[in-house]
Structure 1
Amino acid sequence: GDIVHREGGWYRIGVCVCCVFVFLQSSFSFFCKDLYSSSSRKQMEGSQDLFEAEDTKSRTMSVDLQTDSSLQVEISDAVSERDKVKFTVHTKTNLAYFKQAEFSVVRQHEEFIWLHDAYVENEEYAGVIIPPAPPKPDFDASREKLQKLGEGDGSMTREEFAKMKQELEAEYLAIFKKTVAMHEVFLQRLAAHPVLRKDHNFYVFLEYDQDLSIRGKNKKEILGGFLKNIVKSADEALIAGISGVKEVDEFFEHERTFLVEYHNRVRDATLKTDRMTRAHKNVAEDYIPISSALSSLGTLEASPLNKNFLKLAELFEKLRKLEGRVASDEDLKLSDLLRYYMRDSQAAKDLLYRRARALSDYENANKALDKARMKSKDVKQSEANQQLTCQKFERLSESAKQELTDFKTRRVSAFRKNMIEMTELELKHAKASLLLLRNCLTSLKGDQ
């Protein structure tokens, strides 16, 4: 009673906590009985490690790659230096065209982009899905949050500050690990491909132990790339529409229609999944002041409710950690997967564009040959050009068909693997959350 009169704010919090306690006691016990059988309860009671220990498996987004032991590439180490990340690329190989069987080099993000652009600009790989370039390391958001936390207005308690700092540091570390993983996946895709792995630039990237002297793109080059994409989009529309080039293969017509729809759906799903993950993170952050307030209520003065307040504070702290793991798992197993295949499906669409351009060139060569024959002028040159464009189109079509088939196999395998793993983790966290609430209710009832 004395606390109520002296601390009006604490009184309101106490009333809210009591309401929470009554709700848990009256309704959640019924929910627990209905949801799980007695055998499930026994299993959960012996599973405290569900929420006390981190998953020992690698918590990264995986893209299944069919590699052989002749060329194995991994990023063995990475160091963040202000706005740059230096990756140590480690290679093991028994291929004859490498000077050593095992070696390491240090590379930066710009050098990864250079390698990707070299593949895209090479006409020899027009019939290949070029693995998407890894995203640029971006730690600005996490650093800004840490900076704002350090410049806080003092409204947080010391305990709240420590927990929030721990959350932000964990978020920074997760972004760093994902950055490393995406750069590694890019290299492993190249190493696993029977054609792309033989590129000279790839050898240089892996083996040359000096700086490649690759600078980042300036504003003019970035603008040029943007305009190039606009021209490509306009050309694609021109080929499909005004020029009236018709697809001659039903397989590619189906793939084109599917990839346009698939890419849009994956992009929308990525945005929605990011919002869902952010909501889970917000819930975890909101548990911090609730736990802190309950802990303060339990240590103000001697009261019969002190133990209950402290137990509820402990409950919300454990729920905070659990909710954070839910957000992390959804981010790694779903958001990152969707984001990767959004870029990979764009690479597949680019392949279809290159094939459509080759088909258009072939048809234009046929028309030019007909005109040359009618005028009896430059016939041999037109025939040579027609034959060359025909060979290019047929070669590109054959390669593209295999690439798109492999893309489907790889995509289905990756989604199946990640969906199963994420579902197992969701069930694990749900059981852990239920176990926490049941144990808390049992403990609170025992103190009555």
Structure 2
Amino acid sequence: MSDKDRVLFKIHTKTTLPDFKQNECTVQRMHEEFVWLHDHLVENDTYAGLIVPPVPLKPDFDASRAKLQRLGENEGNLPKEDLQKMKAELEAEYLATFKKTVAMHEVFLQRLASHPTFKHDHGFRVFLEFEEELNVRNKTRKEKAVDFLKSVSKSADETIWLNNQRDNDVFFREEKCSLSGYHSAVKDATVAADLASKCRKTIANTLLQTELALSNLIPKECNITPETDLTTLLTNFFESFQKILVRLSSDEDLKLSDTYDIMRLIQELHSALLYRRCRALADYEAANRNLDKARARMKDVQAAEDAQAAANERFKSISESAKLELEDFKVRRIKYFHKNLVDLAELEVKHAKSQIELIKSSLVRLKSIPMPDIKSPTTRQPAVRSNSNISVTNNNGNNNSSVHSISPTDSITNALG
């Protein structure tokens, strides 16, 4: 829902968990509050061995609003029918963006609610129950710059540790090997799906322009002719076909492109989880070395033993949680792909049936339009030169004239001799 310049999400929760004060509650949240919830879970070291679902993307309605504003500025230069059709096109684009935004935020909350650990988090419960605004502030430029530098440093460090650290656990060694190939495949599939969706939108836009051009050929006066009927038929066909393509493109974007994109983000989270485990293993190995040095010096042995025990406990905890998370996600990943691909196939079958019905009805209408009889042009007969009567006046100026019948043969004979 839209509130002036803000986009608010209305969240209705039903639960039987004893931690909640009520079984049902409804709150309104901004996108920034979703980001706060995500950061709250990521920054909690207790969840270092868990995969926090990726934060949903920020709603981007500015592009549709800018197009609508430009269309309003050119309102006086466009025919009324063309203006209404272009407005309807922008509204369809706005609706597709709205559906995509709602779906991504809903998936984020559903993943947290279905997780055995995250659903008991205090911050998550506050997010769902607290009726007032959370008063979450946006990060400053300085904080964003610091986060960016940390992410760059982490990416480089992550690559080094994942590729060079020796791991005795067979499960995690195999995960490291499969992660790179799977991530590359998902990334390529995401690019291909986005390109296919973009091409379909381009075709839909071309059909819209074709339909507008044909509609301008229809005379305003009620002059029913075969040409007018044919133009009207083609205009209606392209208009209906364009709407089907827009809906199909929107469904493919939501069910296919977004599915790949979410999988790509989750694979990055998998990489981050393996990196945290590698760091915990490195800390445990460093604690062992420090303990050996302390025992050799016979100094601060107890502190070194405590640090080694804490590092060992943290490494084991992260390893156990990470293994369960990765195994569980393999099952959920298949279910997620299965559900969205089945939904996409059903939608494509539905749109294909609509296209077939549209083509059939258009053909029936086309056959019913009376075509004018087309007469073949008359064949021009070759000119035949006939005998000519030539009037010749005598040289003496008498009015009396003698008329001779002269044939072409005679003229040639006389000329020759």
Normalising by the smaller structure, the TM-score range is 0.7 to 0.9
For 1:65, the equivalent position in structure 2 comes to none
Distance 2:23 2:115 in 1: 19
For 2:310, the equivalent position in structure 1 comes to 388
Cα deviation digits, residues 282-328 of structure 1 (max 9, x gap) = 22222223223333434366643222221111111111111111111
Give identity over the alignment, percent: 49
Distance 1:86 1:435 in 2: 39
Task: State whether structure 2 residue 367 is matched by structure 1 residue 445.
Answer: yes
Amino acid at match of 2:287: A
Distance 2:192 2:330 in 1: 23
- Partner secondary structure for residue 297 of structure 1: coil
How many residues align? The count is 368
Distance 1:259 1:298 in 2: 59
Deviates more, 1:410-419 or 1:176-185: 176-185
Cα deviation digits, residues 36-86 of structure 1 (max 9, x gap) = xxxxxxxxxxxxxxxxxxxxxxxxxxxxxxxxxxxxxxxxxxx22344212
List aligned pairs for 1:245-256, cutoff 5 A. 245-256=165-176
Q: Any conservation in 2 of the 1:284–1:320 contact (CA below 8 Å)? A: yes
2:209 to 289, 312, 316: 289
Task: State whether structure 2 residue 108 is matched by structure 1 residue 179.
Answer: no
Amino acid at match of 2:56: P
Q: Which consecutive aligned stretches of 4+ in structure 1 deviate over 6 angstroms post-superposition? A: none
For 1:276, the equivalent position in structure 2 comes to 196
Task: State whether structure 2 residue 146 is matched by structure 1 residue 224.
Answer: yes
Q: Any conservation in 2 of the 1:334–1:422 contact (CA below 8 Å)? A: yes
Distance 1:109 1:274 in 2: 24
For 1:202, the equivalent position in structure 2 comes to 124
Distance 2:63 2:184 in 1: 27
Amino acid at match of 2:195: R
Cα deviation digits, residues 163-214 of structure 1 (max 9, x gap) = 1111111211221232222222212211111111111111222222222221
1:425 to 347, 355, 362: 347
Task: Summarize the Cα distance change of 1:212–1:295 in structure 2 as closer, same or farther, 3 Å threshold.
Answer: closer
Q: Which runs of 5+ in 2 are unaligned?
A: 372-417
Q: Any conservation in 2 of the 1:298–1:308 contact (CA below 8 Å)? A: no
Task: Summarize the Cα distance change of 1:91–1:420 in structure 2 as closer, same or farther, 3 Å threshold.
Answer: closer
Distance 1:225 1:126 in 2: 18
Deviates more, 1:228-237 or 1:330-339: 228-237
- Partner secondary structure for residue 380 of structure 1: helix
For 2:399, the equivalent position in structure 1 comes to none
Q: CA deviation at 1:377?
A: 2.7
Distance 1:239 1:373 in 2: 29
Q: CA deviation at 1:153?
A: 7.8
Q: Any conservation in 2 of the 1:239–1:360 contact (CA below 8 Å)? A: no
CA RMSD between the two structures: 2.1
For 1:71, the equivalent position in structure 2 comes to none
State the TM-score, normalized to the length of structure 1.
0.77
- Partner secondary structure for residue 106 of structure 1: strand
Distance 1:407 1:168 in 2: 38
Task: Summarize the Cα distance change of 1:379–1:182 in structure 2 as closer, same or farther, 3 Å threshold.
Answer: same
Q: Any conservation in 1 of the 2:290–2:304 contact (CA below 8 Å)? A: yes
- Partner secondary structure for residue 51 of structure 2: coil
Task: State whether structure 2 residue 244 is matched by structure 1 residue 322.
Answer: yes
The structure with more radius of gyration: 2
Relative CO higher for 1 or 2, CA cutoff 8 Å, sep ≥ 6?
A: 1
Q: CA deviation at 1:431?
A: 3.5
For 1:25, the equivalent position in structure 2 comes to none
List aligned pairs for 1:32-431, cutoff 5 A. 79-152=1-74, 156-240=78-162, 244-299=164-219, 303-431=225-353
Q: CA deviation at 1:426?
A: 2.0
Q: CA deviation at 1:330?
A: 0.6
Task: Summarize the Cα distance change of 1:430–1:210 in structure 2 as closer, same or farther, 3 Å threshold.
Answer: closer
Distance 1:373 1:235 in 2: 31
Q: CA deviation at 1:400?
A: 0.6
Q: CA deviation at 1:258?
A: 2.1
Deviates more, 1:149-158 or 1:346-355: 149-158
Deviates more, 1:253-262 or 1:106-115: 253-262
Task: Summarize the Cα distance change of 1:240–1:186 in structure 2 as closer, same or farther, 3 Å threshold.
Answer: closer
- Partner secondary structure for residue 17 of structure 2: coil
Deviates more, 1:286-295 or 1:125-134: 286-295
Amino acid at match of 1:289: Q
- Partner secondary structure for residue 65 of structure 2: helix
Q: Any conservation in 2 of the 1:160–1:289 contact (CA below 8 Å)? A: no
Amino acid at match of 1:96: P
Amino acid at match of 1:431: K
- Partner secondary structure for residue 305 of structure 1: helix
Task: Summarize the Cα distance change of 1:402–1:163 in structure 2 as closer, same or farther, 3 Å threshold.
Answer: same
Q: CA deviation at 1:346?
A: 1.6
Q: Any conservation in 1 of the 2:10–2:26 contact (CA below 8 Å)? A: yes
Q: Which runs of 5+ in 1 are unaligned?
A: 1-78
Task: Summarize the Cα distance change of 1:245–1:96 in structure 2 as closer, same or farther, 3 Å threshold.
Answer: same
Q: Any conservation in 1 of the 2:40–2:123 contact (CA below 8 Å)? A: yes
Distance 1:304 1:234 in 2: 70
Task: Summarize the Cα distance change of 1:212–1:153 in structure 2 as closer, same or farther, 3 Å threshold.
Answer: closer
Task: Summarize the Cα distance change of 1:88–1:440 in structure 2 as closer, same or farther, 3 Å threshold.
Answer: closer
Cα deviation digits, residues 127-158 of structure 1 (max 9, x gap) = 10001111111111111111122223866432
For 2:397, the equivalent position in structure 1 comes to none
Distance 2:367 2:21 in 1: 71
